[in-house]
C-alpha cells in the first residue's frame, strides 16, 4: 500500500508519469469518468480549506467515485478528544482512500502508520503540502514544457508556508534550478531547508527582501500569503501582512514569459489588477489541482485505463 506524505515519496520518474496522466485526464475527461465507480474518498479536514478539499472531492466525483468526510475539527470527534490514530483506523473501514489536513506537523505520518488505506497528506501544519506541489509542478510543466532550467522566485512567508517547503524539496531534483528567496528577514526559509535541502543539493540561491530587485531575472514568481494562523502574536502578523503587494507596476519589470503562481487563498499580496495580466496563472493552477488529484487517486489505488 502506498501513501503520499511528502513530495519525495514519488521519484522524478514517477512524478513525471503522474503529470503525464494528469495531462491526459485534462484532454480526455470522459475516458476516466468511471475508473473509481463504487469507491469512496474520505476527506478529513481538521483545518480550514477551500481548494484542496473541494478539488479532492471534485477529482473523486469526476472519476465516478463518491466522497465523505468533515471540514472542521469542531464537527468531528476530535472535539471530544479522539486521537488522529483512532479516527484513521475507523475511516479505514468506511472508505478506500483518504486525504487528511491537520494543524500538527507530522499528523499525516501518524495517520499513515495506523491506516489500512492509502493516506494523502493534504497539509500538516507548517511542514508539507505535497498535493499542492504536484499541482504547482503540473502548472509549471504545462506552461514551460519542463521543470528544470529556470529561476524560481518564492516570495512571502517562507518560514511557515508549507507549500514553499514542499515545492523546494521537489524542484531541487531537476537540473538547472535556481531560487530567489524573497521574504522579510523574520520569515526566511527555515535553516533545515536551507542546509539539508538547498545546500545539500548544491543549489544556487539568493535571499533578499525586496521583490522589485528580483523581478527581472525570474521565470516563475510563486507568491504566498503571510500565514496568520501560525503566528504567535497578532501584532507581528499585522506588521508583516502587507510586506509584499504584487501590482501592475512591478509586473512591468518582469519578463514577457514570467508566470505568477500562488497556491491561494490570496489576501493582499497580489493586487486584483494583476488578474487580467496573461502571465497571472493562479486560477489555471487551481484548475490543475483537480487533474493532478485525479491522477494521484488513480495512482495510489493502482487503477489504470486502457
Ligand atoms: C495553502 C495551504 O493550505 O497551505 N492553500 C492551499 O492548499 N491551496 C496555502 C495557504 O493557505 O496559504
| pLDDT tens per residue, range 107-134 | 999 999 999 999 999 999 999 999 999 9
Residue 279 CB less than 6 A away from ligand 1: no
- The answer to whether position 1 is within a domain reads no
Mutate to test the pocket of ligand 1, among 264, 270, 287 (most ligand atoms within 8 A of CB): 264
Q: Per the structure, how many domains does the chain have? A: 2
Is residue 263 lining ligand 1, measured as CB closer than 6 Å? yes
From 3, 40, 129, 293, the catalytic residue: 129
Q: Are residues 37 and 107 in the same domain?
A: yes
140 and 236 housed in the same domain? yes
- Say yes or no: 69 and 206 in one domain: no
Calpha distance 255→188 (Å, rounded): 25
Residue 133 appears among annotated catalytic residues: no
Looking up cell 484532454 gives 27
The catalytic position among 15, 43, 52, 133 is 52
Q: Which of 74, 36, 75, 91 is nearest to 58 (CA)?
A: 36
Task: Read off the pTM.
Answer: 0.96
269 in Cβ contact with 241 (< 8 Å) = no
Return the pLDDT at 81. 86
The residue ranges of DSSP E strands in 28-167, in sequence order, are 40-45, 66-70, 97-102, 119-124, 150-155
pLDDT over 90 (residue 147) = yes
- 151 and 20 together in one domain: no
Q: What is the mean pLDDT of residues 223-247?
A: 94
Domain that holds residue 16: 7-128+289-301
The single residue of 3, 40, 53, 101 carrying the catalytic annotation is 101
pLDDT tens digits for range 159-186: 999 999 999 999 999 999 999 999 999 9
Amino acid at each position: 500500500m502506498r501513501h503520499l506524505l511528502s513530495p519525495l515519496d514519488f521519484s522524478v520518474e514517477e512524478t513525471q508519469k503522474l503529470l503525464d496522466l494528469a495531462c491526459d485526464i485534462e484532454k480526455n475527461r470522459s475516458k476516466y469518468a468511471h475508473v473509481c465507480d463504487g469507491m469512496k474518498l474520505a476527506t478529513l479536514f481538521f483545518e480550514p480549506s477551500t481548494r484542496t478539499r473541494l478539488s479532492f472531492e471534485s477529482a473523486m466525483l469526476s472519476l465516478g467515485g463518491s466522497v465523505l468526510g468533515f471540514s472542521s475539527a469542531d464537527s468531528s470527534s476530535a472535539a471530544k478528544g479522539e486521537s488522529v490514530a483512532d479516527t484513521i483506523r475507523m475511516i479505514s473501514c468506511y472508505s478506500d482512500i483518504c486525504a487528511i489536513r491537520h494543524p500538527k506537523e507530522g499528523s499525516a505520518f501518524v495517520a499513515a502508520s495506523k491506516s489500512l488505506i492509502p493516506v494523502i497528506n493534504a497539509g500538516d501544519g507548517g511542514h508539507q503540502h505535497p498535493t499542492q506541489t504536484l499541482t504547482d509542478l503540473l502548472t509549471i510543466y504545462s506552461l514551460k514544457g519542463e521543470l528544470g532550467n529556470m529561476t524560481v522566485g518564492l516570495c512571502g512567508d517562507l518560514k511557515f508556508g508549507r507549500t514553499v517547503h514542499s515545492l523546494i524539496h521537489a524542484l531541487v531534483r531537476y537540473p538547472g534550478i535556481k531560487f530567489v528567496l524573497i521574504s522579510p528577514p523574520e520569515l526566511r526559509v527555515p535553516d533545515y531547508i536551507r542546509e539539508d535541502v538547498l545546500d545539500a543539493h548544491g543549489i544556487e540561491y539568493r535571499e533578499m527582501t525586496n521583490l522589485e530587485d528580483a523581478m527581472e531575472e525570474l521565470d516563475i514568481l510563486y507568491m504566498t500569503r503571510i500565514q496568520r494562523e501560525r503566528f504567535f502574536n497578532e501584532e507581528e502578523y499585522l506588521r508583516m501582512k502587507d510586506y509584499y503587494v504584487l501590482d501592475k507596476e512591478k509586473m512591468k519589470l518582469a519578463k514577457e514569459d514570467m508566470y505568477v503562481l500562488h497556491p491561494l487563498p490570496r489576501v493582499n499580496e497580489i493586487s486584483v489588477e494583476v488578474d487580467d495580466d496573461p502571465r497571472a496563472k493562479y486560477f489555471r493552477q487551481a484548475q490543475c489541482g483537480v487533474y493532478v488529484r485525479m491522477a494521484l487517486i488513480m495512482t495510489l489505488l493502482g487503477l489504470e485505463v486502457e
